[in-house]
Chains A and B, each alone.
Chain A
């Protein structure tokens, strides 16, 4: 009896709770027109007097690619904060409205609508390949310049997607450069054999066709390709399949987690293949995850490492200054942070050159960037009216004694 009454009591509160929730949802639905919302970055709240440069951010902080997405987002946010600390962009406050979309395409689309319709941003720093490609039609229609963390070749067609800008070499160009470099350094008198390891997402598949075509054009034999899940904790079966084809080198298109899995399993299975990881597969985070299996791993590095120091990379001085104000140092960040900072810097340079603070003005501003150098944080970026492929140059680095070591200058397959 008592039990029953208790249950009824709970039911009552449950009902009441749901009523309150319904009321909250209703209120949210009819809520204010312009809430500051998730905005961050700016010190004071944004007003619409035209003196605030409103940029949106769609980041993956907690989702499938959060391992590299979180430091990237931190870097982008930090640059906005830094610019405001320096008195703004030519006196104008910059404001970043950032949303964590947890690598979910439908949430990214929802976030995009919030940023464009509610927060009235004029440009967006985005993240994944799947969601950037899902938005390319909308951003062309809404005229919102978009710099993504995705360097997919599909986004470089200016005629079809005139508002997508790529601040670093595309995945395809990264793969081409890596293959080109490998072939140049190939000493045996038979053609090298290549394998590809990627995940079954638009991000993973993005460079595959181009890489295969380019490799074949150089006389490389493409012997195998294996799909490894982006969150895989085991890649033994794929690597065993791959081993039977005896590739000399394998390209990895993953983020840190799956890359470390591949490297560890390859070491365990005694595979001799040289692994080359594209941008998101390389970087500091893969070393602690893979341990000594990372030894000898070669990464495509479009952006600077913080450890390279100010004399090598003068652009790091700004980052150091920002970090010092926060009581931190360059040791506390990694290369993906630099990458986020670099993208934000390219975006705001476009805003500085914009003739009016609209999406259209920002696009014209970005298209004026000519060999824009962020002080060595990345390869110099050039955009023109008919080319939004900022650069094709990348550097290669190799893990030696548990530390990344740059092994090439900025190189490109085109040269």
Chain B
């Protein structure tokens, strides 16, 4: 039986991903800061799908602990999915370095720190799959969320580089750029229904894309074209837009 490690397992998207993998008979390792958030999900996965689920304390911001965290896993996972992220508050982050730093550290440096460790292990073992949940916000900086966007842009570039490097070791890296996803994190936003995916749709897309060794996916297909469009707006025009 294969094992998947889910980093940031407390979120709605992570719950859907965990259930999808468990339904496909993966054992699941759930990692997040608050263990008490994970215990109900652990029971749920075991009862519903008859697999083994374990819980592990993991703090993306505490990079010094990452090596020990990875070493302590009871078995090395066949797949690692990096789901954690922090949207933060753009305006606060403009004035408050604490907030800006938290956005950068959660979405970029924290992710890089743990995935470096996983990558080296997988490279040595010549197997494994790494999935990173990045964001379309990373495609182009916009005034409304460029703190988050720039950190995700860094993460997207990191995943691309990692894919290039690990390809030669037989290790696969999948970048996921979900567009809008209806979760608790976005429930206060008025998202256009047609463009918004459910966490379950993200989970299904991640599972099949990882199995098919896809490189980059956007859960709902038209996001690829929206991003193509956004990428191609001349900067002179883009900077004048309010978005």
Our verdict on whether A and B bind, yes or no, reads: no
The residues of A with any CB-CB pair to B shorter than 8 Å are none
The residues of B with any CB-CB pair to A shorter than 8 Å are none
